[in-house]
Structure formats: C-alpha cells, structure tokens
Structure 1
C-alpha cells in the first residue's frame, strides 16, 4: 500500500509560506517598506506572478504605495479613481476578492480601467484594515489565468493579517516616534 499525501504536501507548503511571512514581520531590523517588499516577493513566488502591490485609498482615489511591476506601467505614487479599480469591491465588502476570470465571474467589472486599459483579466486582492478602517488593498495579479483559486484566497487572507500585524508590531515593539519614521503615511 502506497501512502498518498497530496494534502500533507499542500499543508506543508502553506506552513512554509506562513513561516516566511511571520519571519518577515518579526524582523526588527527591517523597515516597514522593506517588509512590504518582502511580503510582495513571497506572494509573487508563491502564486507564480510578477505583479504585486500595496495601495491605499485617499479622497476617492486609489494610490499605489508599493508596487512590483516588471513592465513599469504602474509605479509607486500612481493614482487612479477608486471606482475604476477591481479593488473597490474588495474595499467595499471588506473581504478578499478572487477572480480567476473577470469576464466570466464578474462581467460588471469589465468596463473598469483595470480591465479595459490595464488588461487585468484575473485578480486577487484583500483589504488592508487599520484600526477598523480599510486602508487599501494588498493585491497580486498574473499575466495569464489562475486555476488554484482557493489557494490564492487563503494566501491573500494571510497577507491581510500579516500587514495588520506588521503595523501593530511596529507600533508596540518600539517607541511611537521611532515607529512613525519607519512606516507609511497612514500607519504613522
């Protein structure tokens, strides 16, 4: 009899990713920005995608704060109207949004600039909540399509908690003045 353990392998892979995430968060020598970059890297590696970003909402605009986009079409500081993004739905519902095929699963989003101008055909985004308010989103997108939607949703949920713990850890680990110099605008 052969011991078939795909579930165990999947659990081990998820546990490994989770350990990597928490090592990043626990690193007291790294800046907030460095930690976010590393979390995006883990996300891209885990999901096999090149694009990842942490963005925030300000006065109805969606501001890209930290971006990894090899095409350089989107860079940190870029601003788009929130209603033109898929992230608006994740922000409004305060829930992770996973769309393997936007055209099929959410055709109402195909008129948004993310789909029409940027070519976003699949999407995963999770709201980042700070002090019970939605700060923005942590999101990743592939060049093609995603087939392992449930794995992606689980991963995004972990990152949402990780960013919030990162913020909390930064605030409680040292004095407030030091934390303010190490974290972005709304985390200060």
Structure 2
C-alpha cells in the first residue's frame, strides 16, 4: 500500500461493481507506471551528472581526453564497446575505442560505411538506436552487426568546424533493451564535447604552424 501512495494513487475511487474494479485496476496501473517512470528519470539524471563530471575531469591532452570520455561512456551505458569513428570517402574506421579485447581487435579495421550501423546515423544526421532485433528500421542488421553478433547500437554524428568528422557510438553483444531518452542525450553531450576538443586541437596545430 505504501508503494501505491508513493506512486501517486491517493485519490478515492468507490468500488461497487465489476466496472469499478476495472477502473481501479487501470488507475493503479497508470499510477505505478508513472512512479516507475519518475524513478527511471531520476536515475537517468543522476547518471548524466556522473557522466558530465567524468567529461569535465578529462585530461588536457586530446587523445587521453577522448579515451577518458569513451571509458566513461562505456561504463555509464554498461556496454561492450564505445568508440569514436572517422568517416572519409564512405570508409569507416574507429580512431579511438574502449571495450573488450575481442571487439577492440575486431573493430580496428577500415570497412565500407555501408556495412555499419553508422551509415544510417550519417545519412539521417541524427542520433540513431537499433531496435529489439539489432537492426535499424527496415534495414535489418548491417554486415558488421551480423559478423560480430552485435545486439544493440546507439550512435550520433560528430561534426568538427561544421564538417562531418565521424560518429560516436556504443555497441553490445548481449543487451537487447532499448535506449532511454537520457541515454540518447548523454551520447549527444559526449559527442559535442569531443567535437570541441578536436576543434581546439586543430586550432592549436594551426597556431603552431604559423609560429614555425
């Protein structure tokens, strides 16, 4: 009963017949679902704060900073791999990644963009997540997903100085549940931070060339 009050079921519903019982059951189901949704949002907000703290505390060296953020993203999402990919001329290659030894080795090669989940992310220019069967919309699971047995994907574009650099994404071999709104927000925040770091690194390199 205390759980129902916490869920917000505090109004009075008289119960006299079958219809009243059905109305009460529907009311309680709605209240409990709303309560669980508030809990999920609270957990998501707390997790986002922890991710933000990890990003803020990243090293100043750009490579070490990106590795630190990828590690924080992987830990936050509890996935097998988090990586930053570079996309050039429809070729896809991870330039930084944190994950299991097997996936780090398997994902180190350059592959056609069309064989990856990120093709949809780039084509649509937005954050994209796989559905329950590991595919994206009507595409089904891409070649890299089938070859490595990937069950889920979440990715977002990374643009540097207004141009597409690549994508930031996470993948996992066992997770089948979808990604919550806060998880999509979190990877977008991390992608924007990485983009700024890459822009700053380019600017520092330009200034060094001018001095030399």
Classify the TM-score, shorter chain: 0.7 to 0.9
The answer as to 2:167 corresponding to 1:137 is yes
Shift in Å, 1:88: 0.6
- Cα separation, 1, equivalents of 2:60 and 2:77: 24
- Find the partner of 1:177 among 169, 191, 204: 204
- Cα separation, 2, equivalents of 1:90 and 1:101: 17
Alignment match, 1:186: none
Alignment match, 1:89: 120
> Is the Cα–Cα contact under 8 Å of residues 128 and 137 in structure 1 kept in the other structure?
yes
Alignment match, 1:123: 153
Alignment CA distance shift 1:34-1:180 (3 Å): farther
Alignment CA distance shift 1:101-1:179 (3 Å): farther
Shift in Å, 1:176: 3.6
Which TM-score applies when normalising by structure 1? 0.74
- Find the partner of 1:58 among 88, 103, 108: 88
Higher relative contact order (CA 8 A, sep 6+): 1
Which TM-score applies when normalising by structure 2? 0.67
* Secondary structure at 1:68 match in 2: strand
Task: Write the mapping of 1:1-188 to structure 2, written as runs, cut at 5 A.
Answer: 1=2, 2-4=5-7, 5-27=35-57, 29-75=59-105, 77-102=108-133, 106-110=137-141, 112-147=142-177, 149-151=178-180, 153-168=181-196, 176-177=203-204
String of CA shifts for 1:137-159, please: whole Å, max 9, x gaps.
Answer: 11111222322x241x5323332
> Is the Cα–Cα contact under 8 Å of residues 127 and 156 in structure 2 kept in the other structure?
yes
More helix by share: 2
Alignment length, in residue pairs? 177
Alignment CA distance shift 1:180-1:150 (3 Å): farther
- Cα separation, 2, equivalents of 1:171 and 1:104: 33
